[in-house]
Structure 1
Amino acid sequence: MTKTIAIFLFTFFISFNFYSQNSYVFVGSYNSDKNKEGIYVFQLDTLTGDLKKITSVKNILNPSYLTVSPNGKYIFACTETKTPNAGSVSSFEFKPQNKTLTFINSQKSGGENPVYLSVHKSGKWLINANYTQGSVSVYPITAGGKINPIVQNFSYSEGSINKERQERSHVHSAVFSPDYDFVFLPDLGADKIRSYRFDAAKKQPLSENQYPFTSATLGSGPRHFTFHPNGKFAYCVEELTGTISVYKYVTGKLDSIQRINAHTDAFKDDFNSGDIHISPDGRFLYASNRGEENNIAIFSIESNGTLKTVGYQATFGKTPRIFTIDSTGKFLIVANQTSGNVIVFKRNSVTGLLKKSGTEIKVENASCVQIKQYL
């Protein structure tokens, strides 16, 4: 072996090992008690898929949904969720070099039961969806990760045909368009995907969109929403009918092109679909099914944006509320809420199929999982 080759292999080994130890997994939960751990941080070994706990946070109630700032310095959480007449959003600073997660501040959520957060690509704006009262709130974020008070809040009241679940608006997520010029709000209660223009340069960034909403199938219950990496297509998982609607997307406008079952043929009712994500290469889409199914539905994405069913993967737990895919597309990690466990899967980039990998982590009432790689 020549000296040059030896140096190359050594450098490659060091770089690969560095990467394998600098991916972190953040898990939120319904802890129900401020004296219990609420947010957990794990180190992901990207060689084995193992998770190693490095820290956790107490003194917060029900941090049910988390999102990470673009630069990775801050973790934002929906807090006081499922708490009567309450709700807040909270900020934490994460220092990977010290392996610490430190509380910064909280603000009122502007509606009961906050369930979803998105951060603008600039890191200067935070958007929160409130489920129970059906509203959306917008907050400025300081350079130090502090959440400032709400500058805009819009609430909605109309419901739809399912009188038990759709008695009024229930906004279940808030998602930026690929260019960050629009925000989309799937409303489970009203069977609509609402939308606004977003101008990050304004003090009140949300304004009316030419297309203020897209109607979903009545009784379907739009829940979570994602865009294809090419920016041409969008996908919405519908909780109440266990389906996925596919849309062609152009400048703030959604046009329906397909609707396909996320559930297996064995299930005819009592659907409970949850989360939805696309692999970084844009070739496969994944959706979680809760209820009695407890699986991840796997679809291939055709060149025209439509979906074809590939298969289903059991999540080895109950109620896969949220899952996520790492930036390399190598791993998919699921938070099973009812069974209180977090499962790591390795993803086959050719077939899209999943295989359980690494250790199983117990987290009581695990409700959300996010991954961030740090350089």
Structure 2
Amino acid sequence: MQPQPASRRSFLKTSLALAASASALSHGEQLLAADGDAPLIAYIGTFSSPLSDVLPTQVDLPPGNGRGIHIFRVDRQTGAMTPAGVHELGTSPSCLALNKAGTRLYSANETDRVGETKEGTVSAFSIDRKTGQLTLLNTVRSGGAGPTYVSLHPSGRFLLVANYFGGSVAVLPVQTDGRLGEPTDVQNDAGPIGPARAKNAPPGSFAFSGHDRTHAHMIQADPSGKFVLHVDLGLDRIYVWKFDDQNGKLVANDPAWVELPPGDGPRHFHFHPNGRWFYSIQEEGSTIVLFDYDAKAGRLTARQTVSTLPTGFGGSNFCSELLVSEDGKFVYAGNRLHDSIGIFAIGADGTLTHVADEWTRGNYPRSFTFDPTGRFLYCGNQRGDNVAVFAVDRATGLLKFTGQYVPVGNPSHIVFLEGDSR
């Protein structure tokens, strides 16, 4: 049977539906359409030197197979990554941060070889926004051994650094040309070390990674920039600092920290888009804790604890990354050894409900990141030497593997840059 010509009424109905669909595009999809000709660039930080030197307390890990900061061009439609070069480094750029303008990249170089105090370093790079290629601006000491995390203060005038093996956090000024200055402040964590056995560890767990000394694992300002928070895995604490943005100084808040259950080991955290809910993931306890955040006082109050693992799990697991979706509907939690991403729905009151678990298609998922549209999630499987690409169902939160593996040695962290087509 031949198709009948469409009536004027059906044509109008279709046109209206298409117009409504177009007007309902999410911010990410609008961005995709508007910037379709501009390059989308991904930078992947890696462990690039022998981990026996970089991570002396984790001798079971394989040698660092990365070559520095790996650069890729990303297909906005399919999520596919095409290699675009490597900026080779003699140290491990395990964490990366971009400035808001997309003109500078900063890397935490996870080593402990600089000077008499055996510190690590942080590097600043300028970016060619057309090609994504990097030019080293300078490298400075990080204020402690083994820097594992860097983030930019909302003002853009300071870089915040967490030194895992040094058990310290530091503030580095960002100069007008993007270069980094020497630390304006260094704070060393101190207190009683937590037990080897996490209070909330799964049955049969031998997960023990950081309760041998102080280990600052993440540092980031709150959305206002008035406070800076950092976690110490070995002390089972989340610290809160008032931030002096004129002098780059950290001033202890009152109270100065909140305690997590003994041995659970807070690793990473993420604010909800509303700024009132704060989620922390515990590396050895395999839990997520929901805190209410008082932005005026910089105060955290715990309200819910959930396991990152499926019901009935037994054995060892090390949690890694934690992300809140941009729309504030879901939390994603990384499980190493179980090699999964736990997916949790966020309720109207901020509480979490387990939705599903997605296999990461690789070994030891250290981190994962959404692309700028939120349509794809990229998971760095550290021991699997690959990045696996997943499509995100933003209605259900579920992940679907696209079949794409990106070979990268010891991937540690991924950031995305909206390039310039001009």
Matched to 1:31, the amino acid is: S
Match of 1:273 in 2: 319
> Aligned ranges for residues 239-250 of structure 1 at < 5 Å?
239-250=283-294
Alpha-carbon separation, structure 2, partners of 1:154 and 1:90: 20
Match of 1:210 in 2: 254
Of 63, 67, 80, which aligns to 1:37? Answer: 67
Give the TM-score normalised by the residue count of structure 1.
0.91
Of 176, 179, 192, which aligns to 1:146? Answer: 179
- Among the aligned pairs, what percent are the same residue? 32
Matched to 1:283, the amino acid is: K
Q: How many residues align?
A: 366
> Aligned ranges for residues 33-182 of structure 1 at < 5 Å?
37-81=67-111, 85-158=118-191, 159-162=193-196, 165-182=210-227
CA radius of gyration, larger in: 2
> Contact conserved, 1:81 with 1:115, CA < 8 A, in 2?
no
Match of 2:54 in 1: none
Determine whether 1:312 maps to 2:345: no
Deviation at 1:59, TM superposition (A): 3.2
| Change beyond 3 A, Cα 1:161–1:25 | same
Deviation at 1:17, TM superposition (A): 7.6
Deviations 1:232-265 (A, max 9, x none): 1000000001110110111211000100000223
Mean CA deviation greater in 216-225 or 323-332: 323-332
Deviation at 1:96, TM superposition (A): 2.0
Deviation at 1:82, TM superposition (A): 6.4
- Structure 2 gaps of 5+ residues are 1-10, 23-28, 51-63, 198-207
SS of the equivalent of 1:161 reads: coil
| Change beyond 3 A, Cα 1:306–1:316 | same
Alpha-carbon separation, structure 2, partners of 1:341 and 1:258: 34
> Contact conserved, 1:83 with 1:113, CA < 8 A, in 2?
no
Matched to 2:254, the amino acid is: Q
Deviations 1:288-318 (A, max 9, x none): 1002x11111000011111000001111111
| Change beyond 3 A, Cα 1:107–1:270 | same
Match of 2:25 in 1: none
- Structure 1 gaps of 5+ residues are none
SS of the equivalent of 1:184 reads: strand
Deviations 1:194-215 (A, max 9, x none): 1101132x21332121221011
Give the TM-score normalised by the residue count of structure 2.
0.82
Match of 2:231 in 1: 186
> Contact conserved, 1:299 with 1:309, CA < 8 A, in 2?
yes
Mean CA deviation greater in 27-36 or 186-195: 27-36
Alpha-carbon separation, structure 1, partners of 2:386 and 2:70: 12
SS of the equivalent of 2:156 reads: coil
SS of the equivalent of 2:33 reads: helix
RMSD: 2.5
Of 276, 294, 303, which aligns to 2:348? Answer: 303
